[in-house]
Each structure stands twice: as structure tokens, then as C-alpha cells.
Copies of this chain bind each other. A is one copy, B any other.
Amino acid sequence: MEEAKGLVRRVHLVKFKDGTPPARIEEILKNYANLVNLIEPLKSWHMGKNVSIMNLDQGFTHVFEVTFESAEGLAEYADHPIHTEFSKQTRPHLDKVIVITYELTVFCT
């Protein structure tokens, strides 16, 4: 039986464009992390750099997780002008991105 935990998560798999200066990437990470202080419905933010050796990563270099208490919270975040501006500044540096949104779920047997 599936059991939702009431949290909504959006995960981004990102590959920055070759040639993006490391300092620019660092700045993007810093600004992205700071959204948790600026946009109330964003409850948690995590990132990670891919270290997989399985060769199933399609070249994606970073994962970003943003977590909300509800779909409404995510919608509010997505439309927030600070988020919109961040996305606009960041997009030109992305080679590719996959975005998946899901309700965080456990499966009780």
C-alpha cells in the first residue's frame, strides 16, 4: 500500500555547459541555496555532485532537490518573482536539465 508523506519534491538533474567558469557555478549554487531564505514555501534545499561510477548518469553533473509541504507551496515558489529571476539568470548556463516532480511516498507492505 502506498502512503504519501504529504511532501512534494522537485528534483533537477543538471549538466552545466562546458566552459562555464567554476566561479559562476559556485555563484549559482549560492544563489540557489539562498532561495530557501527568501521564498517561504520552500522548506528544504539540497544539492549533490554526481559521483556515480555506474555509467548511467547521461553526463548529468549535479542534482538539486527542493521540497515543499504541498503542491500549492510548490506552485507559489515556481511563480515567485525571485525564483523566476533566478531561473532566467541560470538557464543560459545549462547544457541540459531533467525536472521531475513527485509526492514523496513510502510503500508499506
Give me the interface of A with B, judged by CB distance under 8 Å: 2, 5, 9-11, 13, 29-30, 32-34, 45-54, 56-58, 60, 62-63, 97-109
Number of this chain's copies in the assembly equals 2
- Does A50 lie within 8 Å of B101, measured CB to CB? yes
Contacts of A101 in B (CB 8 A): 50-54
Q: Which residues from B are CB-within-8-Å of A105?
A: 46-49
CB nearest to A32 among chain B residues = B107
Give 9 A-B pairs besides A49-B103, A53-B101, A56-B98 with Cβ atoms closer than 8 angstroms: A13-B98, A33-B107, A45-B107, A49-B105, A50-B102, A54-B101, A56-B99, A57-B100, A98-B98
Which B residues are in CB contact (< 8 Å) with A62?
A: 102
State the Cβ distance, A88 to closest chain B Cβ, in Å.
Answer: 15
What separation, in Å, do the CA atoms of A13 and B69 have in the docked complex? 22
